[in-house]
């Protein structure tokens, strides 16, 4: 379980208590966070779940897979060093208090 805060490009903040094993994309879409689309349902095939992870916490996340790195080439907004795909990040206690910023657009 982890409390994750999503901050949309508009400044709108939503904090979600996410059960272990749920992806950040699942949590965001199930709770009406508009800044994440999740078009492919989490199979790392659409890049519409792009997010910017708090840089200070990047080390708390498993590194991106090759498939995620490939898909990050296709994001609609600027790719940054802290860009990740929210469907590839699973909640666990290690992510408690994580802050995730969302880009202007996903498509
Ligand atoms: S939901 Fe499609 S790549 Fe994450």
> Averaged in consecutive runs of 10 residues, what is the pLDDT profile of the chain (107 residues)?
97 98 98 97 98 97 97 97 98 97 96
- Total domains in the chain come to 1
CATH number for the domain harbouring residue 31: 3.10.20.30
Contact predicate 26/37, CB 8 Å: no
Cα of 84 from ligand 1 centre, angstroms: 10
Is 44 domain-assigned? Answer: yes
Cβ–ligand 1 distance for 103 under 6 Å, the answer no
Over the chain, what is the mean pLDDT? 97
Is 106 domain-assigned? Answer: no
* Closest C-alpha to ligand 1, atom 3: 44
Q: What is the pLDDT of residue 67?
A: 98
Cβ–ligand 1 distance for 83 under 6 Å, the answer no
Q: What is the pLDDT of residue 62?
A: 94
35-44 pLDDT, tens digit per residue, is 999 999 999 9
C-alpha dihedral (91, 46, 10, 17), degrees to nearest 10? -20
Q: What is the pTM of this model?
A: 0.96
């Amino acid at each position: 379980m982890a409390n994750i805060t999503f901050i949309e490009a508009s400044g709108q903040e939503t904090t979600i208590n996410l059960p272990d094993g749920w992806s950040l994309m699942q949590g965001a879409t199930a709770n009406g966070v508009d800044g994440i689309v999740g078009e492919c349902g989490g199979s790392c095939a659409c890049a519409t779940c792009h997010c910017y992870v708090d840089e200070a916490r990047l080390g708390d996340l498993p590194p991106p897979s090759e498939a995620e790195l490939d898909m990050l080439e296709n994001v609609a907004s600027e790719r940054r060093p802290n860009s990740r795909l929210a469907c590839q990040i699973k909640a666990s206690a290690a992510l408690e208090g994580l802050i995730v910023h969302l880009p202007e657009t996903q498509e």
